[in-house]
Structure 1
Amino acid sequence: MELLSHKTEPVGNESLEKWEPVGSGGFGRVYKARHKDLGIDVAIKILHDGVCPTMSLWDEASHMDKAPCEYVVRLYGTYQGCPPVGGTSTQQGLVMDFMGRGSVQSLQKELSGPPPWPLVCRWAHQVAVGMSFLHSRNLVHHDLKPSNVLLNAELNAKLADFGLSRVSTSALNSNRETMGIIGGSYRYMPPEAFNASYEPVRSFDVYSYGILLWSIITGKEPYPCASYDLVELKIPFGDRPSCEEIDQRREQGLKELVDLMKRCWDHSPTKRPTFKNCREDTENVFSKHEKGILNVVAQVVTQLESPASIQANRSAAFNVPLQTPEQSKSNDTVENALRSSAQQDSVRISNRRMSRADKAKFVDDYRAKLIQNVTEVMAITDALGNMVHREAYSVIDAKATSQDKMRVMYQRTLHSGGEEAKAAFYDTLKDHQPDLVKRLGGLI
């Protein structure tokens, strides 16, 4: 099969060295490598064998190749070869910018909240500029959210993950699994997109940008406990993330960004601003804080590289949703059984920091109990981000019970993602259901 129909620069093993695996999920693996000709680190995104590329990697490459912009992750070429780390056969992939600081979402977790205000202003502006550029090239992102805003070493933001861009209207139907694949994360979808006859347009991205602004201002994930069904029901009737805790007098320019945020998530697509309008507003706000940005970036990087932060850092990094009363009650009903089982098990893990292998073994050893007792499945699925392939996400979301959702999680993500995906699941489970992990003998 030909890799891409448009022309991109081929990059082979002879141009790459110092390979390191840095991420894994249902879609495949991401490696970091040194590009010998360019003298820079790059990321190589490779699909698992057997994963259909029709609406994922190859579409992403096509759109990235049409979008050269400072605030869009750059495509350097296409890869074909056998990765020297973990590779067993010839594979195809993309060679792109290596974003060493993860994503906006992961950084918010590491900082336990939003970053300093000047950095919020810079991200808001850089995303607006990047999206304005994409729309000028007739590209619609369709999956704009914190995990798809990646950060380089200087904490500059770049847009990533173009697998959903420019989706054909004919692909939309009332099937929820399809909606999950092409509509992006449902928490960032506009009200009109929940209609089966919806035709994707630019205003979709503008609405998502409004929710993104709320997330980076508050440092939180919108609707952390809400299922697809609840969001689908509430959003078309005007529900939006709460702004009650945002003190608009706290920072210079905060009121302006909140006003922009609300205009972006307006119920009517025709009343939402264009990204050109957004860019003008964010440039004005950022200009008031630009002088202090270098000091702020240095402070944040210093904090991230402190020993305490490095120890606490996890590969899955997202906010902790609150339990509903029903979920708390469910936990209570299984508490005694779990405690009894854990007491009967021998101590498997010593009192040291768990390695990735320890975490993966825990997830394997307690598969049956986790399937039975994990109640925050969708919150955990969202927290795993790109480790859960879009097709797997939609299948998990469509299942009626937590047990069925967890079975799909094991089949579609944990098994294919290997040790890294299982370790990320363990870390995320600790955030969402720490009592469950503790009762099963894990370390918190």
Structure 2
Amino acid sequence: MQEMALMSHKTERVGSESLEKWVSVGSGGFGHVYKARHKDWGFDVAIKILQDNVRCDSNEEVIHMDKASCEFVLRVYGIYEGIPPLKGFSMQKGIVMELMSRRSVQDLLQGLSGPPLWPLSFRLAHQVALGMNFLHSRNLIHHDLKPSNVLLNDDLNAKLADFGLSRVSTSVLKSEKKEMVGGTYKYMPPEAFDPSYEPVRAFDIYSYGIFLWSVLAGKEPYTSAGRGHVALKIPMGDRPPCEDIDQRKAAGLKELVDLMKICWDEKPSERPAFKECLEVTETVFSKYKSQIHAAVAQVLERLDSPTSYQHSNTSVPSSFSPQMPEDSESHDTVDHVRFLKTKRSSTQESVSVSAKTMSDADKAKFIDNNRTVLIREVCEVMAIVDELGGMVHSETYSVIEAKQTSEDKMRALFQRTLRSGGEKVKAAFYDILKTQQSTLMERLGG
């Protein structure tokens, strides 16, 4: 039935003959994403190749994305059918989507090793609320809202993506058949850990509260906790620590923290609708609207040339000296800029020294000693596998890619490649983690 719905969908079909210059850009639980140039259109697109065991759910993703099409939701161009010009592929199906060149909010937080400048943080909070409000107005719930599913374009504007778990809201269609709840456990509300739970809009509201914490704190929640621990503690009232967000740093932070707490309230009925969230996020962002272009320019400069800040003056550049809103002291934003630049400088310098002094044996030992944590917490596994290149056998690549979760992918990588590859492979793996998982590696002392 779902396949027939897809076949009747009017979205354009795109075959391999229309695409060239394929490059891997990431992976997730529903498939692998590639960048490719459309020969006739003349611009790059994202191709999401769908895994066989989730294909039916992901086919509905096309319909959901089309139904929820707006400025703050990733645009879908068509349905891919063909054989990708890559090793090991047979006939595949996928989704042709808008390419978001700056990847995700999760990548942004990792690249900055902390929260973005406040004007950008507040815009992200507002744009995600706008997208989610539009989604709910179309009687859809996202069901997997998290930083890695909020993508960024060249100007760091946010768009919602990965609708593989979205469905028609059960608060509208009460007769929907119950299914096992998906989503990412760190962003799931307490009621969702009950096997009999049936998702409604309040699920997304809770996830948005945890998303706000991640952006404002600049990191993932519950970094050292596994699914079992989170499933036990969240229904008992545990939440990410609010003290990790210094509300004195900028005007508007207190309002967003208060909103965050309401969104992750234990009782679904007490959580606000996204339309109510917008009243807060729009008010906060309006105070910083005049500063957003300068803030984005500085963040992009830091992301593109992080090493240029290793020995730079920690004072704020003359090109970006934002004025705080009238109800706050102007030095707060300046202090935030200085703090981020100083932190980035010290982090980059320590990484550079560490990379030069550690031997392959030391790197391999680090990987072995932290095996359990790495299996549990490393994300974007296929991007790491792609970086390892020929060190990963083609058969092993297929096995890893077929795994459902990042944890399972990592476990397969350890068992099939790292264990037998010796110091050289583990050292290469270590170096990739330093680049792609810098926040985690810093926490582990790598």
TM-score range normalised by the length of the shorter chain: 0.7 to 0.9
1:335: which partner in 2? none
Change (3 A) 1:435 1:171: closer
| Equivalent runs, 1:20-419 vs 2, <5 Å | 20-24=23-27, 27-47=30-50, 51-54=52-55, 56-86=57-87, 88-166=89-167, 169-172=177-180, 182-306=181-305, 308=307, 374-377=371-374, 379-382=376-379, 384=381, 392-393=404-405, 396=408, 407-408=411-412, 410=414
Change (3 A) 1:123 1:434: closer
Residues 358-410 of structure 1: CA distance to partner in whole angstroms, max 9, x if unpaired? Answer: x9xx9xx97x99678612045424464998879632984xxxxxxxx964455
1:10 aligns with 2:18: no
Change (3 A) 1:215 1:283: same
Change (3 A) 1:33 1:393: closer
CA drift at 1:45: 0.9
Change (3 A) 1:71 1:421: farther
1:320: which partner in 2? none
Change (3 A) 1:289 1:389: farther
Change (3 A) 1:394 1:290: closer
1:344: which partner in 2? none
- Between the two proteins, the alignment pairs up a number of residues equal to 370
Change (3 A) 1:102 1:135: same
Residues 39-91 of structure 1: CA distance to partner in whole angstroms, max 9, x if unpaired? Answer: 3321011135xx32345432322211211111111100011122234464332
Partner SS, residue 124 of structure 2: helix
- Tell me if the contact between 2:434 and 2:441 (Cα under 8 Å) persists in the aligned partners: no
Identity of aligned residues (%): 56
- Tell me if the contact between 2:26 and 2:33 (Cα under 8 Å) persists in the aligned partners: yes
Change (3 A) 1:434 1:237: closer
2: distance between equivalents of 1:369 and 1:293? 41
Change (3 A) 1:310 1:99: farther
Partner SS, residue 143 of structure 1: coil
Structure 1 residue ranges without an equivalent (≥5)? 173-181, 312-349, 397-404, 438-443
CA drift at 1:244: 1.6
Partner SS, residue 18 of structure 1: strand
For the aligned residues, what is the CA RMSD?
3.9
* 1:81 maps to amino acid: G
* 1:69 maps to amino acid: C
2: distance between equivalents of 1:159 and 1:249? 30
CA drift at 1:118: 0.3
2: distance between equivalents of 1:429 and 1:134? 31
Partner SS, residue 21 of structure 2: strand
* 2:25 maps to amino acid: V
* 1:380 maps to amino acid: E
1:179: which partner in 2? none
2: distance between equivalents of 1:211 and 1:37? 41
TM-score by length of 2: 0.72
CA drift at 1:20: 2.2
1:343: which partner in 2? none
Residues 244-265 of structure 1: CA distance to partner in whole angstroms, max 9, x if unpaired? Answer: 2323232111111111111101
Change (3 A) 1:224 1:119: same
Structure 2 residue ranges without an equivalent (≥5)? 169-175, 311-354, 385-399, 420-425
- Tell me if the contact between 2:118 and 2:250 (Cα under 8 Å) persists in the aligned partners: yes
Change (3 A) 1:412 1:77: farther
Q: Which deviates more from structure 2 when the two are superposed, residues 110-119 or residues 189-198? A: 189-198
Q: Which deviates more from structure 2 when the two are superposed, residues 301-310 or residues 246-255? A: 301-310
- Tell me if the contact between 2:35 and 2:99 (Cα under 8 Å) persists in the aligned partners: yes
2: distance between equivalents of 1:233 and 1:205? 20
1: distance between equivalents of 2:402 and 2:187? 15
Partner SS, residue 53 of structure 2: coil
CA drift at 1:7: 2.6
Change (3 A) 1:2 1:272: closer
Partner SS, residue 99 of structure 1: coil
Q: Tell me which of the two structures has the higher relative contact order, counting C-alpha pairs closer than 8 angstroms and 6 or more residues apart.
A: 1
Change (3 A) 1:249 1:370: closer
